[in-house]
Amino acid sequence: MKNNIIILGGGQAGIYAAREIRQNDSKLNIKILSEENLLPYERPPLSKDFLLDKKKEEDLYFHSSDVLKNENIEFENISINKVDFENKKLFAKNDNVYSYDSLLISTGSENKKLTLDNNLKNDIYYLRNLEEAKKIKEIVSNKNKITIIGGGFIGLEIASSLSQLQKKVIVIEIGNQLMGRIIPKQIADLVQNTHIEHGNEIILNKQIEKITKKNGDYEILLNDNSLIETDFIIAGIGSTPTVKLFENTNLKLDNGIVTNQFCETSIKDVYAAGDVSNFYHPFYERNMRLESYQHAQNHGICAGKNIAGVKTEYTSIPWMWSDQFNLNLQLTGICNDYDEIIERGNDINNGVIYFFLKNKIIRGACGLGIAGKIGRDIRITSKLSEKNTIVDKQILSDQNLKLNKLIQK
Amino acid sequence: MSEENWIEVGSTDSIEEEDLIRFDHQDKTFCVYKLTDGFYATDGICTHEAVHLEDGLVMDDEIECPMHQGIFNIKSGEALSPPACEDLKTYPVKVDNDKIFIKIN
Ligand SMILES: Cc1cc2nc3c(=O)[nH]c(=O)nc-3n(C[C@H](O)[C@H](O)[C@H](O)COP(=O)(O)OP(=O)(O)OC[C@H]3O[C@@H](n4cnc5c(N)ncnc54)[C@H](O)[C@@H]3O)c2cc1C
Ligand code: FES
């Protein structure tokens, strides 16, 4: 008999799994162990509306404590620092021991850190959780010239928010385009132009050689010997799955915790979901790790079902968004395995979408537009790709032809 | 309520089935939908952020927000999927002589 379910990590995947288990089973004991002393909350606003003060802390929580109480889901603020899979036990710093029958690992991911002199460790800020967001918000109120190291989604979202707070922002990116190679260069350039139009400075193809502290401010030396003076530095240089705890165990790790399509890990009764898991996707017939809101939710729900005994394959088509200024970027499906690209539109006011096709079948798309301009077409792309549809290219490339018809029954 | 509260939106063939149109009236904006069993109306702006639902996808009785895929039931306005968590306001709709009217107050 399985009685005790432990969910390690109280983020998005964790809470959705907990509620799904409860929906399927009213008797199991469900306990979430969370190192953050906060009920599960949404992270996307941390780099956007929370910094802009459009959303407050209380707007971020997925559910109130009443919902957890009503559903009899226990939530404990504790950091686990040792696991014993053989005896099905978790150990906390304060010597508490937790026994489980089934375990879900949903420890998320953590920010990569710059390798720097020790004396600068506390000077560079990173953004992953609410506490860090609060800190950044408080400090930037007295700063004017802020440097963001890393031109990925989170760095650029922070750059957009700080620009809207009337700060002078400089973004330094090591690659030759923003947001990484998976984003079509044309879309990366449109995003870059928007940052520049709003007064942000974007520096590409440059590496940081040295950071020096000077009278409370900083000097950043780049590899072309140019110097940037700045009074605050935030780094967003990517993230890694939070797996340190499992490094010396039998749990199979490879860019996260390796799971199959049922969220099962290499150890019986141990599941993983969300950012931390490198899961097998039966539709693409390969493993992948995603860091996205929609995935954390759906993967958590799928893990919940499987833990509760409802065997369910995870087949969700990947989807994520990034909001910068009034732009909304969306990615769906697979955008790095194609033999043809089709462009739809060329103006961000009406939306620009690049479709990625392989053997004439739509595999994915990346779009950019003002507010929700590209949302419907991206959603339709997800549905088309799910069905392996061969689509008339004329319809894809002509913005005057609606895509709705392609999915109607 | 008095007759004046019914505002004319347009003709019934101005909306395709399982689709929507945007309708602006004074300083307010709405979405008017044609579903298989008739016409419906909701507020135009998503309850999550200030984005118009006119670019969203209608599927059965649901409208999916084009920005972050929050989902609402068109008939009840109920928020069905995060990040949308606040319900969408709905409005009565009637059809008279092939014209759609919505009751705004
Ligand atoms: C600033 C920011 C902006 C984002 N914006 C977007 C966006 O616009 N669109 C989008 O699609 N996605 C966005 N994301 C990504 C999305 O928020 C994540 O993919 C999602 O939160 C992952 O959920 P998760 O449950 O896997 O992990 P998390 O939500 O990170 O939760 C993991 C939890 O586990 C806890 N934990 C870890 N180790 C332990 C331990 N040993 N003991 C106890 N607890 C532990 C952590 O403290 C954390 O609370 C953003 C993320 C960030 C950080
Ligand atoms: S704006 Fe509609 S879900 Fe976010």
Residue A3 has pLDDT above 60, yes or no: yes
Interchain contact B82–A (C-beta under 8 A): yes
Domain that holds residue A36: 4-48+62-109+240-307
Neighbours of A45 (CB within 10 A): 23
Ligand 1 contact, A107 CB (< 6 A): yes
Atom of ligand 1 nearest to the CA of A295: 19
Q: What is the mean pLDDT of residues A291-320?
A: 97
Residue nearest to atom 7 of ligand 1 (CA): A44
Residue A182 has pLDDT above 90, yes or no: no
Same domain, A103 and A249: yes
Q: Inter-chain contact B56–A380, Cβ cutoff 8 Å?
A: no
Closest CA relative to residue B63, chosen from B97, B103, B34, B96 = B34
Residue A101 and residue A117 in one domain: no
Is A228 in the same domain as A127?
A: yes
Query: Could you tell me the residue range of the domain that residue B58 belongs to?
Result: 3-103
Q: What is the DSSP letter of B52?
A: B
Tens digit of each residue's pLDDT (9 = 90 or more) over A338-356: 999 999 999 999 999 999 9
Nearest to B56 among A297, A319, A376 (CB): A376
- Say whether both A103 and A117 belong to one domain: no
Query: Is A80 close to ligand 1, i.e. is its CB under 6 Å away?
Result: yes
- CA-to-CA distance for A311 and B47, rounded, in angstroms? 35
Cis preceding-peptide flag for A282 (omega within 30 of 0): no
Measure B66 CA to nearest chain A CA, in Å. Answer: 4
Q: What is the mean pLDDT of residues B84-103?
A: 95
When divided into structural domains, chain B yields a total of 1
Q: Does B64 sit within 8 Å of A371, measured CB to CB?
A: no
Instruction: Read off the pLDDT band of A408 (50, 70, 90).
Output: low
| Predicted confidence (pLDDT) per residue in A74-105, tens digit | 999 999 999 999 999 999 988 999 999 999 99
Average pLDDT over residues A289-317: 97
Query: Degrees (nearest 5) of the Cα angle A229, A234, A237?
Result: 115
Q: Which residues contact A237 (CB under 8 A, 6 or more apart)?
A: A111, A112, A114, A149, A150, A152, A155
Q: Indicate whether A1 pLDDT > 80.
A: no
Residue A350 with chain B: CB contacts under 8 Å: none
Residues in chain B: 105
Residue range A279-307: mean pLDDT, rounded: 97
Which tokens hold the place of A70? 């009503």
Query: What is the pLDDT averaged over residues A263-277?
Result: 98
Is A167 a member of any domain? yes
Q: Is A94 contained in some domain?
A: yes
Residue A274 near ligand 1, beta carbon < 6 Å: yes
Report CA-CA distances (Å) from A112 to A10, A43, A175, A242.
21, 17, 16, 11
Q: Do B65 and A293 touch (CB under 8 A)?
A: no
Query: For the sheet containing A217-222, what is the strand order?
Result: A208-214, A217-222, A227-230
Cα angle A176, A324, A343; round to 5: 65
Contact between residue A243 and residue A276 where contact means Cβ atoms under 8 Å apart = yes
- Ligand 1 centroid – CA A101 distance (Å): 25
Between residues A106 and A2, which one has the greater pLDDT? A106
What confidence score (pLDDT) does residue A197 get? 98
CB A109 within 8 A of CB A66: no
Global pTM value = 0.95
Specify if A248 maps to a domain.
Answer: yes
**pLDDT per residue over B12-59, tens digit each?**
999 998 899 999 999 999 999 999 999 999 999 999 998 999 999 999
Please provide the DSSP assignment of A335-390 as one string. SSS-SEEEEEEEETTTEEEEEEEETTEEEEEEEEEETTTTHHHHHHHHHHHHTT-B
CATH code of B56's domain: 2.102.10.10
User: Angle of helix A12-24 relative to helix A293-307, nearest 10 degrees?
Assistant: 30
Output the pLDDT for position B3: 57
The confidence score (pLDDT) of residue B33 equals: 97
pLDDT band at A2 (very low <50, low <70, confident <90, very high): confident
Contacts of B68 in chain A (CB under 8 A): 44, 293, 321
Return d(Cα A46, Cα A53) in angstroms, integer. Answer: 10
Q: Looking at residue A97, which CATH number applies to its domain?
A: 3.50.50.60
Give residue for tokens 């200030």. Answer: B50
- Residues A104 and A117 grouped into a single domain: no
Final residue belonging to a domain, choices A235, A259, A282: A235
Our answer on whether the CB atom of A91 is closer than 6 Å to any ligand 1 atom is no
Query: How large is the angle between the packed helices A153-164 and A185-197, nearest 10 degrees?
Result: 20
Q: Does A294 reside within a domain?
A: yes
Q: How many domains does chain A have?
A: 3
